[in-house]
């Protein structure tokens, strides 16, 4: 039983909930529990979409600095792999993932949010990569996922300065996708997640894989990834169901097979 990260499933939507007082600092234990939760929801056929939520007060204010401050180079060389792998497990969930961001999403918390497909932020939320102010750099994907999302110049601005980005600016630069009143963040994320329930789960997984892996390679390689995923979908019952419903002008009922 995880201590700080829980998974709740309702209406085909899984909520991965962080609850480590006071600021959901991502220490080694929380990192392991996040990875376990990600694998759990990825493997559950009853889960069609995922919301990552830190509660009403804060999403996650970053890594546990007290834990890191005493680490040597050798310690961090080993730990950094586990740190990256824990968040990559979230990025690899083969279902739509939405980060519901309240309060601070800083450092590792911002990097966790970057692993989601979409980000919903409260009006008073603040995001950023403040590691430079500690004399270090982001180490859980911030230097890689952030420029892929908002472009290298804007990413360098955030990483070099370490400044906190308010929700309105985050929306303007594409760091978040929606801004809502603070009290509505979780509900807004769930409503967005609900649009993916009942859909063709295998096709959604294939689409996510094609986009994500395609962004990591050259165009020709990306097109080959797309071609293989596209042709593979034709082996599924959902593809037959969807195309038959289209020709018959009826509503498809997908089964995820």
User: Which residues sit opposite 97 in a β-bridge?
Assistant: 50
Q: What is the pTM of this model?
A: 0.93
Q: Report the pLDDT value the prediction gives residue 86, as an integer from 0 to 100.
A: 94
Q: What letter does residue 132 receive in the DSSP assignment? A: G
Alpha carbons 132 and 227: distance in angstroms, whole number: 41
Could you say which of 111, 169, 226, 237 is catalytic?
111
Alpha carbons 147 and 150: distance in angstroms, whole number: 5
Could you say which of 131, 169, 224, 253 is catalytic?
131
pLDDT in tens, 145-195: 999 999 999 999 999 999 999 999 999 999 999 999 999 999 999 999 999
pLDDT over 90 for what percent of the chain? 86
Q: Report the pLDDT value the prediction gives residue 102, as an integer from 0 to 100.
A: 98
Alpha carbons 209 and 117: distance in angstroms, whole number: 11
Sorted by where each starts, the structural domains of the chain and their CATH numbers stand as 5-194 (3.90.226.10), 201-248 (1.10.12.10)
Dihedral (CA of 194, 198, 201, 207) sign: negative
Alpha carbons 103 and 82: distance in angstroms, whole number: 26
Alpha carbons 229 and 206: distance in angstroms, whole number: 6
Phi then psi dihedrals of residue 56, to 5 deg? -70, -25
Residue 111 annotated as catalytic: yes
Q: Give the angle subtended at the CA of 100 by the CAs of 94 and 102, to the nearest 5°.
A: 155
Alpha carbons 41 and 48: distance in angstroms, whole number: 9
């Amino acid at each position: 039983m995880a201590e700080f990260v829980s998974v709740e499933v309702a209406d085909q939507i899984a909520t991965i909930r962080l609850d480590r007082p006071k600021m959901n600092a991502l220490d080694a234990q929380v990192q392991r529990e996040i990875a376990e939760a990600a694998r759990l929801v990825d493997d559950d056929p009853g889960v069609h979409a995922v919301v990552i939520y830190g509660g009403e007060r804060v999403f996650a204010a970053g890594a546990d600095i007290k834990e890191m401050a005493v680490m040597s180079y050798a310690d961090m060389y080993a730990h950094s792999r586990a740190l990256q792998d824990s968040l990559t497990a979230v990025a690899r969930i083969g279902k739509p993932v939405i980060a519901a961001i309240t309060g601070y999403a800083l450092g590792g918390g911002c990097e966790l949010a970057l692993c989601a497909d979409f980000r919903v932020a409260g009006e008073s939320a603040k995001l950023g990569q403040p590691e430079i102010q500690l004399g270090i750099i982001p180490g859980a994907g911030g230097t890689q996922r952030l420029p892929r999302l908002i472009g290298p110049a804007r990413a360098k601005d955030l990483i070099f300065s370490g400044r906190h980005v308010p929700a309105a600016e985050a929306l303007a630069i594409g760091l978040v996708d929606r801004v809502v009143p603070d009290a509505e963040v979780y509900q807004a994320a769930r409503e967005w997640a609900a649009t993916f329930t009942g859909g063709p789960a295998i096709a959604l997984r294939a689409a996510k894989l094609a986009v994500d892996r395609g962004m990591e390679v050259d165009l020709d390689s990306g097109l080959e990834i797309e071609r293989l995923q596209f042709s593979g979908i034709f082996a599924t019952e959902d593809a037959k169901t969807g195309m038959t419903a289209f020709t018959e002008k009826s509503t498809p009922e997908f089964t995820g097979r």
